[in-house]
């Protein structure tokens, strides 16, 4: 099959409809999965550990005899280190330092202002218990461990529980080592919707958490969406996406590889290239065709490009910015020489990578900012995961007798306009 992403031009009358159709995802399959997710969650709530052990055997390919076997032991953590070489550990530590240094700048502190004896402020406290979900399958994802755990630690979370469908220690050794280096308190070998349900509602063996963060497959995503409200979550993650803005001064091979870096995640991942240069669009496509055969995940990349990929020809910088803000991409690379001017016009993007020497992949692993980002256009109203996601704010109010007299009059007036007598009287009592 030939690689053939959709080519669209902003000058065409049907541009808006075309791009909307391409960005949208058919969720008919999700409805079928949702029914299965609901059954799994209800089973965990009803039968607890017994149901959980059954789901772990069925879905995680790990047959536990006792519920306690779900916990990765200290000996198994030591075993994981034997499968990881010193260079890998060294690189993990370097990445951890960069992420910690960045995350420390996000930490909020309690504050208050005092005037006329009245104190107003905020008390900032960490969430007490957090569940970190780390996917597994055929790969190990230490970067997911780092990005979800480090900001929680910086925030001061007391108890961090990691859930990951680990069957063999050797296969997921790097993720286990990463968890140990980051100070995860417990690693549980479980995944899928059953892991989300167990963390949310607890069982006799597993305690409830206050918030669950981390990516997963459609079962995990829908389970998080279902339990939201009973537990906090980070976001409802969709397929990975990247938008690259480039011009004729940029290297086509580099652009092609950066597009591939997201397309290889998933057949539904979305690689998008925007340029005012038709020559650049054509040159990148030549690079795509040239490089694709050498890619190990070429089948996934091919399907991603053909089902959701786009080359967009725009007239100018203002039009490019409008398209980017319309898409609100998870990842935005601005390679073009006018990157600083274009940046001023961008309002919607999860993470912005400026210049040819700033590929998205650096953000995935070690640049410092978090790689857990808003997807599917949610960058219009959401932000990357950060320390602030693991902190709570409580309003702090202490009114002096003098100020109470003034506030009483204001409150009585508004309360009566709303027809709330007790509100008005509670305020009036303070008018002494």
pLDDT surpassing 70 at residue 279: yes
pLDDT over 90 at 427, yes or no = yes
Residue that is written with structure tokens 């993720």 in the block: 175
User: Which 3 state secondary structure label does DSSP give 71?
Assistant: strand
Contact in structure between 390 and 130 (CB atoms under 8 Å): yes
Q: What is the pLDDT of residue 138?
A: 62
Q: CA 215, 216, 222, 228 torsion: positive or negative?
A: negative
Asked whether the CA dihedral 215, 218, 223, 229 is positive or negative, the reply is positive
Active-site annotation holds for 264: no
> Tens digit of pLDDT for each residue in 155-169?
999 999 999 999 899
Tell me which of 241, 330, 356, 360 is the catalytic residue. Answer: 330
- Cβ atoms within 10 Å, residue 119: 13
Q: What angle do CA 83, 96, 128 make, to 5 degrees?
A: 100
pTM of the predicted model over 0.85: yes
For residue 164, the model assigns a pLDDT of 96
Q: Which of 194, 331, 333, 356 is catalytic?
A: 331
Could you tell me the CA-to-CA distances from 296 to 147, 217, 300 in Å, in that order? 26, 21, 9
Inform me whether the pLDDT recorded for 139 exceeds 80: no
**Residues 86-135: pLDDT tens digits?**
999 999 999 999 999 999 999 999 999 999 899 999 999 999 999 999 99
Q: Is residue 16 flagged as an active site residue? A: no
The residue count for the chain: 432
Cα 148-154-156 angle, rounded to 5 deg: 105
Q: Identify the structural domains of the chain with CATH numbers, from first to last.
A: 6-25+239-367 (3.40.50.1980), 29-233 (3.40.50.1980), 399-428 (no CATH)
Contacts of 366-371 with C-beta under 8 Å, sequence gap 24+, read 366/91, 366/94, 366/95, 366/98, 366/99, 367/98, 368/98, 368/99, 368/101, 368/102, 369/102, 370/99, 370/103, 370/147, 370/151, 371/143, 371/147
Cα pseudo-dihedral 314, 319, 320, 322, rounded to 10: -140
């Amino acid at each position: 099959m030939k690689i053939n992403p959709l080519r669209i031009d902003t000058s065409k009358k049907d541009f808006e409809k075309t791009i909307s159709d391409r960005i949208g995802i058919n969720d008919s399959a999700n409805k079928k999965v949702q029914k299965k997710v609901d059954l799994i969650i209800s089973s965990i709530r009803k039968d607890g550990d017994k149901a959980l052990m059954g789901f772990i055997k069925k879905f995680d390919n790990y047959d536990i005899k006792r519920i306690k076997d779900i916990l990765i032991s200290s000996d198994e953590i030591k075993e994981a280190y034997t499968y990881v070489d010193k260079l890998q550990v060294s690189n993990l530590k370097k990445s951890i330092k960069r992420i910690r240094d960045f995350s420390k700048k996000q930490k909020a502190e309690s504050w208050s202002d005092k005037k006329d004896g009245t104190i107003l402020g905020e008390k900032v406290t960490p969430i007490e218990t957090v569940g970190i979900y780390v996917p597994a399958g055929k790969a190990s994802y230490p970067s997911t461990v780092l990005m979800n755990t480090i900001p929680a630690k910086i925030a001061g979370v007391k108890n961090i529980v990691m859930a990951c469908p680990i069957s063999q220690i050797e296969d997921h050794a790097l993720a286990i080592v990463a968890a140990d280096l980051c100070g995860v308190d417990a690693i549980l070998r479980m995944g899928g919707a059953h892991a989300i349900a167990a963390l949310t509602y607890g069982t006799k063996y597993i305690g409830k958490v206050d918030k669950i963060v981390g990516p997963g497959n459609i079962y995990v995503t829908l389970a998080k969406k279902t339990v939201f409200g009973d537990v906090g979550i980070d976001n409802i993650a969709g397929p990975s996406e990247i938008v690259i803005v480039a011009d004729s001064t940029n290297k086509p091979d580099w652009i092609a590889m950066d597009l591939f870096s997201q397309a290889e995640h998933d057949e539904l991942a979305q690689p998008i290239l925007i340029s005012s240069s038709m020559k650049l669009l054509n040159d990148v496509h030549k690079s795509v065709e040239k490089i694709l055969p050498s890619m190990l995940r070429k089948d996934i990349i091919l399907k991603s490009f053909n089902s959701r990929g786009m080359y967009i020809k725009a007239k100018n910088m203002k039009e490019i910015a409008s398209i980017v803000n319309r898409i609100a991409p998870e990842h935005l690379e601005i390679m073009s020489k006018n990157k600083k001017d274009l940046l001023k016009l961008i309002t919607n993007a999860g993470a912005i990578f400026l210049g040819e020497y700033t590929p998205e992949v650096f953000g995935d692993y070690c640049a410092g900012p978090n790689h857990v980002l808003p997807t599917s256009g949610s960058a219009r109203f959401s932000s990357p995961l950060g320390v602030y996601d693991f902190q709570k704010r409580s309003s702090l109010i202490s009114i002096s007798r003098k100020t109470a007299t003034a506030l009483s009059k204001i409150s009585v007036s508004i309360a009566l306009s709303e027809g709330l007598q007790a509100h008005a009287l509670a305020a009036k009592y303070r008018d002494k």
